[in-house]
Amino acid sequence: MTKENVKKALDRMEQGTYRNTNEIVLGGVPFSARDVLVKAPIISRLNAYYVGGTGEGKTQLANDLCGYFSDSSCYAMGRADFEPSEIMKSMNWDLLRKLQAGEKVPEGELEKLSENVNKCFFYVDELNRCPPIVQNYFFDFFDGKLVHQGKIRNLGKEGYSVGFASGNLGDGEYVGTSQSDRALKDRMHLILGIDHPLFSTTSFDDLMIFSGSKKDPRASLPQTQEGMTSEIIQANKEFQARPLNPILPFLGVYLTKGLDYLEGPKAHSKKAIKDSWYHSNIEGVREDSDEGIIFPMSKRAVLSAQALASAFQFIAEAKGQKVANPAELFLDGLKLIVPYSGILHPTYVEQKHSGDVYSAFDEAMAFSREEILKKQGKLEEAVLLAETGDKNPKLLKSISGSEGRWACVKDAISQYADYRKANPSEEGKALKEIIKEAHDMD
Amino acid sequence: MTNPNFQSLDMDYLKGIAERVAKEKKAEREAQKNRKETKPEPIVQEQAEPESKPIFINGTINPDEYIQISSTDEVIAINQSHGNLRYEEAHKALLSEGLKIPTPNIFMKHFRNVVDAYTNKSNLITASGKPLGKKQTGELYEKLTHDCWAWLNAKFVKGNGYLNLNLNLETVVGMDSKGKILTTTLPLETCSNQDAYVNLDFNNQGLAKTVYSNQNYEQGKNIRFWYPRENAVARFGADSDRASLSCDRSPDDRDSGLGVFASAQQGASVSQKNGGKKQ
């Protein structure tokens, strides 16, 4: 049950200058735009990258977010010569003065960490104004750590820090922008095209924005509201303490190993032939299979998807809404992770979907989605049995044969059953009692 | 193996599933019980025994475990055997027992016969001349459409057959005294050049000719086809998702679940070792 103070924190995050009343339905549950764009990533401590055209509200969102974290926020502007250590390190002036006065000082300590390392919220506006080489410096930064004098230090406090960024992704219409590579996108966890109809403002929002008292097109600065960093940290702690839906890790196996499966090549793996996979479809997109259009997700992306689905469930429950099918919520949540992640074949996105990554994602995932939902009942039953240390060969066979993209899921369930047989859990024993009379263990 | 992460899984969710499963099974059992009480079991009448005769196979395979393939002089095992062997190893193992791996032509004829028998269009006749019972026919149909994985006798090599693919079809025809397998090569006939669900309509080499109207698996109505690739071999497989004829597989694959539906020719000399028995 979500605590009262967590509910209050979530309610406070509805406030701000950025206006967007679009309702986004995920897993059959209606969420507000702020639930999706702000609360879910903040609560689950997932980095978010807002992308889209200029003047669509990215900077306004950033200002609202900085307001939530108040003194614990750190804002930076992407530039060609910017790198994160610029805001994390500063000159130790006392030592410098001593050095200038001729005193002997340890030279390595002339540079010290700045107060910013203890901040919890980092925002890099116009991230892709940094050239790719500079964007590489952000890997650690968005991983929530910093290397200083050979030692790794966590950013933030009480284990909480999160990084947000914005960028104008486009095909040449923005001068001075660069592409971001897949490693950085993967670390951004969520990439949200906020001007896409899926997430963008409603017509009435636009009317309210245009007809309001504001006559200045510039984004409003953070409101002088009291920050809520400690409430956010508390909400994150409560979120972290919640158990994970047991089906999601098995869907994760499908999205990493199952989506990697290829019928033809000897190793049956897209990763094994990744260079030719990315160079395939040059002459056109094959339409008879999804094998050439979607690459497996990374483990980091699956972990992000699990956290995101859990965050949505957390938010829904705080509002008194019930999530009927967590697997469906998980699959819908992938829409915030996969489309810009680089795992959709670029030729497919361009040729078949005119560059609309969300449309490409829907079609590319349609087959897997249908399969997952079709197999869900069997999958749940097999995972339940595995938790009790048992496995039913007939049931496993109904999930997958000896080969194919589902074989990895079947193997994972089977091995988990073996693990649980050797290491029984108290909960597993209780579950066994419930199904003992009911299940035919043939 | 220890993983403390497992401790953080939501057991209440699994408890909900356990209760749902228990309820479903209970309802299923009760429904079954009610059916038994209210309805006498229908008497399943075997179809009139067709005119059939045993065929002569010079050897000691169990003729009740082999099915005749109409319009050919071959019989094929009901059960899969000879698992965990690579393509060439499987050929050698079978040939040494007087058996062989069926070509796609033979196997797909058999597949169609099984589908026809299941839909009451015909009967399957064992090598001993007995019609296969309804229950066994149903089991064989389920096996071939949902649960098998077997090598077929076909390798696709560079050649001058069907121009789109520019391949020849190499089949194994025997083994010499030194254990070297002997092959014959023919130009590949025109077949589908798409990886797609296909009609149960095959050319003389047993390869799919036409793409099925609907690109979803429909048990007994279509199969997934993977068109021939150079230096690949053919396999037939069926699992929970679909049945497929794959002409793009590596001959070096090996798996305990990957075997053969052994075939034998009328009049062939066959030894007893493993023929038609499930391993």
**CA distance to partner chain A, nearest, from residue B10 (Å):** 5
Distance from CA of B138 to the nearest CA of A (A): 17
The counts of H helices and E strands in chain B are: 4, 12
- Provide DSSP, A133-185: HHHTTHHHHHTTEEEETTEEEE-SBTTB-EEEEEE---SS-STT-----HHHH
* pLDDT of B51 over the 70 cut: no
B216 neighbourhood in chain A, CB within 8 Å: none
Range of the domain at A199: 4-241
Q: Give the pLDDT confidence score for residue B44 in this predicted structure.
A: 42
Of B11, B17, B250, the CB nearest to A427: B11
DSSP state of A71: G
CB contact under 8 A, B9 and A437: no
Are A264 and B6 in contact (CB < 8 Å)? no
Q: Do B14 and A431 touch (CB under 8 A)?
A: yes
Together in a domain, A53 and A195: yes
User: Chain A: residue nearest B253 by CA?
Assistant: A266
Q: How far apart are CA B125 and CA B52, in angstroms?
A: 7
Smallest CA-to-CA distance from A178 within A216, A224, A132, A138 is with A132
Q: What is the dihedral of CA A308, A3, A60, A139, to 10 degrees?
A: -40
Using a pLDDT cut of 90, give the percent of chain B over it.
Answer: 49
pLDDT digits (tens, 9 = 90+) for A387-398: 999 999 889 988
Contacts of A93 (CB under 8 A, 6+ apart): none
Residues of chain A with pLDDT > 70: what percent? 90
Residue type for A172, please? G
A401: which chain B residues are within 8 Å (Cβ-Cβ)? Answer: 147, 149, 237-241, 257
**Which whole number is the average pLDDT over A294-314?**
94
Lowest mean pLDDT among A188-197, B135-144, B157-166: B157-166
SS3 A219: coil
Please classify residue B238 by burial: count the beta carbons closer than 10 Å to its beta carbon, then call 0-12 exposed, 13-18 middle and 19+ buried: buried
Give yes or no for residue B49 having a pLDDT over 70: no
Using a CB-CB cut-off of 8 Å, the residues of chain B touching A264 are 226, 229, 232, 248-249
Indicate if the pLDDT at residue B172 is higher than 60: yes
User: In which region does residue A209 sit, left (phi positive, over 0), alpha (psi from -120 to 50) or beta (all else)?
Assistant: alpha
Please check whether residue A66 lies inside any domain of the structure. yes
Q: Which of A215, A241, A267 is the last residue of a domain?
A: A241
Q: Is residue A334 a part of any domain in this protein?
A: yes
- CA angle (A273 as vertex; A354, B215 as ends), nearest 5: 55
Residues 231-250 of B with CB under 8 A from A: 232, 237-241, 246, 248-250
Task: From A189, A221, A241, give the residue that closes a domain.
Answer: A241
Is residue A226 domain-shared with residue A346, that is, in the same domain? no
Which of A219-223, A319-323, B124-128, B144-148 is predicted with the least confidence, judged by mean pLDDT? A219-223
> Locate tokens 């990763």: which residue?
A271
Q: Write the CB contacts of A331 (distance below 8 Å, at least 6 apart in sequence).
A: A27, A251, A365, A369, A372, A373
Mean pLDDT of chain B: 84
If asked whether residues A210 and A274 sit together in one domain, one would say no
State whether A160 and A268 are in the same domain: no
What DSSP line would sit under A172-186, residue for residue? S-STT-----HHHHH
Query: Would you call B246 and A406 a contact, using CB atoms and an 8 Å cutoff?
Result: no
**Cβ contact A176:A79 at 8 Å:** no
Say whether A403 and B149 touch across the interface (CB within 8 A).
Answer: yes
Q: pLDDT value at position B43?
A: 40
pLDDT of residue B2: 44
Domain boundaries, chain B: 58-252+260-270
User: Count of CB atoms within 10 A of residue A100's CB?
Assistant: 9
Give the distance from residue A291's alpha carbon to the nearest chain B alpha carbon, in angstroms: 11
CB contact under 8 A, B239 and A431: no
Structurally, chain A folds into a number of domains equal to 2
Distance, CA of B83 to CA of A6 (rounded, Å): 58
Instruction: In whole angstroms, give the CA distance from residue A86 to residue A84.
Output: 5
What is the complex's ipTM, to 2 decimals? 0.78
**A190 and A319 assigned to the same domain:** no
The model's pLDDT over A354-377, given as tens digits with 9 standing for 90+, comes to: 989 999 999 999 989 988 998 999
Task: Please judge whether A404 and B241 are an interchain contact, meaning their C-beta atoms are less than 8 angstroms apart.
Answer: yes
User: Are A215 and A78 contained in the same domain?
Assistant: yes
Would residue A441 count as lying in a domain? no
Residues A200 and A326 in one domain: no
Which of these ranges, A96-100, A203-207, A297-301, A326-330, has the smallest mean pLDDT? A96-100
Q: Are residues A162 and A272 in the same domain?
A: no
pTM value is: 0.70
Average pLDDT over residues A409-420: 95
Final residue of a domain: which of A197, A223, A241?
A241
Task: Tally A–B CB contacts below 8 A.
Answer: 115
Q: How far is CA B119 from CA A53, A62, A399, in A?
A: 60, 65, 26
Does some domain include residue A442? no
Of B24, B196, B239, the CB nearest to A288: B196
Where residue A213 falls among pLDDT bands split at 50, 70, 90?
A: low
pLDDT given for residue A54 in this prediction: 77
The top-scoring range by mean pLDDT among A91-105, A172-186, A372-386, B170-184 is A372-386
pLDDT at A281: 64
Q: Is the model's pLDDT at B15 over the cut of 70? A: yes
Hunting for tokens 């002088």 — which residue is that? A224
**Residue B239: predicted pLDDT:** 87
The answer to whether B80 and B90 are in contact (CB under 8 A) is: no
Instruction: Provide the mean pLDDT of chain A.
Output: 85
- pLDDT bin (cut points 50, 70, 90) of residue A442 is very low
pLDDT per position as a tens digit, A215-225: 667 666 666 56
Residues A232 and A358 in one domain: no
pLDDT at position A225 is: 62
pLDDT at A278: 78
Q: How far is CA A353 from CA A255, A342, A360, B152, in A?
A: 22, 15, 6, 40
Query: Token pair 């971001």 is at which residue?
Result: A180
Q: Across residues A89-93, what is the average pLDDT?
A: 76
A272 to chain B, any CB pair closer than 8 A? The answer is no
Separation of alpha carbons B116 and B122, rounded Å: 6
| Cβ within 8 Å, pair A263-B17 | no
Kindly state whether residues A99 and A217 are assigned to the same domain.
yes
C-alpha–C-alpha distance, residues B235 and B247, integer Å: 7
Q: Is B172 helix (H, G, I), strand (E, B) or coil?
A: strand
Rounded Cα distance between A408 and A402, Å, is 9
Q: What is the pLDDT of residue B68?
A: 93
* Confidence at B4, pLDDT banded by 50, 70, 90: very low
pLDDT at position A120 over 70:
yes
Q: Find tokens 């009790």 and name the residue.
A: A388
Q: Which of A229-233, A275-279, B15-19, B37-41 has the lowest mean pLDDT?
A: B37-41
Asked whether the predicted pLDDT for residue B277 surpasses 70, the reply is no
Rounded to whole angstroms, how far apart are CA atoms B84 and B259?
A: 7
- For the cut 80, the answer to whether the pLDDT of residue B18 exceeds it is yes
Confirm or reject contact between A303 and chain B (CB < 8 A). no
Same domain as A252, residue A234: no
Do the bridges between strand A190-193 and strand A48-51 make them parallel or antiparallel, or are there none, so unpaired? parallel
